Amino acid sequence: MLSKLIIHRQLVEIYGENVVTDGMVRKWVRQINDGRINCHDEARSGRPSVVNDVLVAKVNEKIRENRQFTIRMLCDEFQQISKTVFRENVTNRLNYRKR
């Protein structure tokens, strides 16, 4: 089995100096030794998102009704979503851009 130090050195050699800390490599090795069998992030607890596919479809419909929309106008209509989350979803999920 490879040591934590060797793993870290190889990662730095391949991907560069800022790839990952040696502490993170130690954590990964510890998790693998404790029985972890995959590299995917585990589900985290936290506040569930209010943004779902149905809500995104409604927002998209509103945007198509008025192509000269502003984020503020949409926030007034859909008050359960913050302005920041709205901007993220309109630009990243619906791919609308400012002209």
Residue boundaries of the structural domains of the chain: 4-34, 53-93
First to last CA, the chain: 55
Q: DSSP label at 3?
A: -
Nearest to 77 by CA among 58, 57, 52: 58
pLDDT attached to residue 51: 84
pTM: 0.49
Given the structure tokens 């945007």, which residue do they identify? 63
pLDDT attached to residue 41: 78
pLDDT attached to residue 44: 76
Q: What is the pLDDT along the chain (99 residues), one digit of tens a residue?
A: 678 889 999 999 999 988 999 899 999 899 989 998 888 877 777 777 778 889 889 999 998 998 888 889 888 988 888 899 888 888 888 898 877
Q: How far apart are CA 25 and CA 5, in angstroms?
A: 8
Given the structure tokens 């502003």, which residue do they identify? 70
